[in-house]
Amino acid sequence: MRLPLPITLSLAGLTFLYGGAGAQDIYSCVDAKGRSITADRPIPECLDRVQRELSPSGLVKRQRGPSLTAHEQAAQDEKDRQAAEIRAREAEDKRRDRALLLRYPTRAVHDQERAAALLQIDEVIKASIKRRGELADQRKTLASELEFYAKDTSRAPASLKRRLEENEGSVAVQQKFIADQEQEKKRVNLRFDEELAKLKQLWAMLNPAATPGTVSSAIKK
């Protein structure tokens, strides 16, 4: 039902018209011709302007904005999607920051974990260097055997040639492995450097004189 009503119609009058048991919300607006229109559902004449949604008692519940075209709605949906993505990224950043603070409450803890990570890589490199030394000793033994055929290496047994080739291949593998581990050390140091830069910002946000309970509360925020 839709009735043109004077703008001065009281809320009590609206309640009289639409009130009673099972009364619905009331929609009210002024159309393009300046008419004040009231109805029990959204008003087609006012889709391009603001409509007030009133409770059965006449109180304003909300204002409905102008209806959007398909193009405008698509643009709004995209804007809402981007805003939601930004909020999600911000929430994820905060979650990561909290996790980082909980894992590294102090510089000493962070330094200790860096040292432990680098030590583990150094131990692997040390083992590979040891293996490379063993291969070097093996190479000397094979070379001494090959000296017997120095005048004509083509006469050397196929098994000796094969062991020489295998030795060279193993040395190359160890060399590459050591180089890869050195690169891994650089990556680990870079990761800890980036974490430390972020942690310095987060630590600075906490009160240096805070009690443990206060620091924990700050981390949880």
Single residue among 64, 88, 114 that ends a domain in this structure: 64
Q: How confident is the model at residue 75 (pLDDT cuts 50, 70, 90)?
A: confident
Answer yes or no: are the C-beta atoms of 12 and 29 closer than 8 Å: no
Spatial separation of the C-alpha atoms in residues 13 and 19, rounded to whole Å: 9
Per-residue pLDDT of 14-25, as tens digits, reads 444 444 445 678
Range with the largest mean pLDDT of 34-43, 63-72, 166-175: 166-175
R_g of the chain, CA atoms, integer Å: 39
**Beta bridge pairs of residue 38:** 3, 28
52 and 138 co-located in one domain: no
122 and 203 co-located in one domain: yes
40 and 116 co-located in one domain: no
More confident call, 148 vs 191? 191
Single residue among 36, 64, 92 that ends a domain in this structure: 64
Which is nearest to 44 in space by CA: 29, 56, 57?
Answer: 29
More confident call, 125 vs 146? 125
Q: What confidence score (pLDDT) does residue 165 get?
A: 92
Percent of the chain, pLDDT > 90?
52
Q: What confidence score (pLDDT) does residue 212 get?
A: 42
148 and 204 co-located in one domain: yes
Is the model's pLDDT at 119 over the cut of 80? yes
Is residue 91 domain-resident? no
CB-based contacts of 30: which residues, under 8 Å, 6+ apart? 7, 36, 37, 46, 49
Is residue 156 domain-resident? yes
Is residue 200 domain-resident? yes
52 and 120 co-located in one domain: no
137 and 205 co-located in one domain: yes
141 and 216 co-located in one domain: yes
Domain coverage including residue 199: 104-220
135 and 216 co-located in one domain: yes
> Could you give the number of structural domains in the chain?
2
